[in-house]
Amino acid sequence: MMLRKVSAAAAAALVLSLTATACGGDDKDSDSGSGSGSGDKIKIGIKYDQPGLGLKEPDGSFSGFDVDVATYVAKELGYKPDQIEWVETKSADRENALARGDVKLIAATYSINDERKQKVDFAGPYLLAHQDLLVKADSDITKATDLNNKKLCSVTGSTSAQNIKNDLAPKAQLKELGGYSECIAALQSGSVDALTTDDSILAGFAAQDKYKGKFKLAGLKLSNENYGVGVKKGDTATIDKVNTALEKMVSDKSWQKAVDDNFGPANYKNEPAPKIGTIVK
């Protein structure tokens, strides 16, 4: 009987020891901070469904401007590409993902605004985008008022198209669809005359091989969208490191290369790289 008790106690101690070791291993793998190159990982939130910005490819790899920016930043923090764990971060969950610690950074067309700054901190901005229109390459739509009596597509729940109708083209006919891919298909078929959202998003979709040469941006600047890298509220050390990385990315021309690689076609004329800490209203 004594032997059995001792064996049970030893087994329990072994389980506790293994559990502690496993927990320690998990903490190290998900730790975002040291970038020691010794097996640590960094989790970065991106979009999975935005060509040219954040896209999960059929082979499981990731592409886009946000991905290129995040990869560069991670490198400067001490992480190799294979130490990055990409996490799909939908717009509605970005603040919660940072607060929960699901990700260390978010680079996902994350516009800096006062409401969001109450919940998270931002490094950057790293891109100044604008609300714009995407039209067919031979379209005669050149300004927002041309949309009167035209069909304008946007994604369900977006305010972009409604803002145009309210302020610029009251006779525009709004058509809401489930996603940008559906709006692009409707534009190609002629069932809508234009699509509106951020010019960077529009350019990314239009740059896909199957659409090259078929669409163009109108070149309007209907709003200013300052994309920043989201960081957990109060993590000033990480913000400083990310800002330093972004400045280096601009100075060594990697930033412009990423713009050219991801947004080339569709008449996209990017703004110069923003100055860190400067928000264009």
Give the Cα separation of 26 and 241 in Å (integer). 24
3-state SS of 120-164 is: EEEEEEEEEECEEEEEECCCCCCCHHHHCCCEEEEECCCCHHHHH
DSSP category for residue 1 = -
pLDDT of residue 266: 66
- CATH 3.40.190.10 location in the chain: 42-129+224-263, 131-217
pLDDT averaged over consecutive 10-residue blocks of the chain (281 residues)? 40 41 40 51 96 96 98 98 96 94 97 95 98 96 97 88 94 93 95 96 90 92 96 98 98 96 80 96 92
Task: For 54-111, write each residue's pLDDT tens digit.
Answer: 999 999 999 999 999 999 999 999 999 999 999 999 888 999 999 999 999 999 999 9
Give the Cα separation of 24 and 219 in Å (integer). 52
- Ordered alpha helix ranges (H), 46-105: 65-76, 94-100
Looking at CATH, the fold of the domain delimited by 131-217 is given as D-Maltodextrin-Binding Protein; domain 2 (3.40.190)
The single residue listed with the structure tokens 């090259």 is: 212
Q: Which CATH architecture has domain 42-129+224-263?
A: 3-Layer(aba) Sandwich (3.40)
pLDDT of residue 8: 43
DSSP category for residue 93 = G
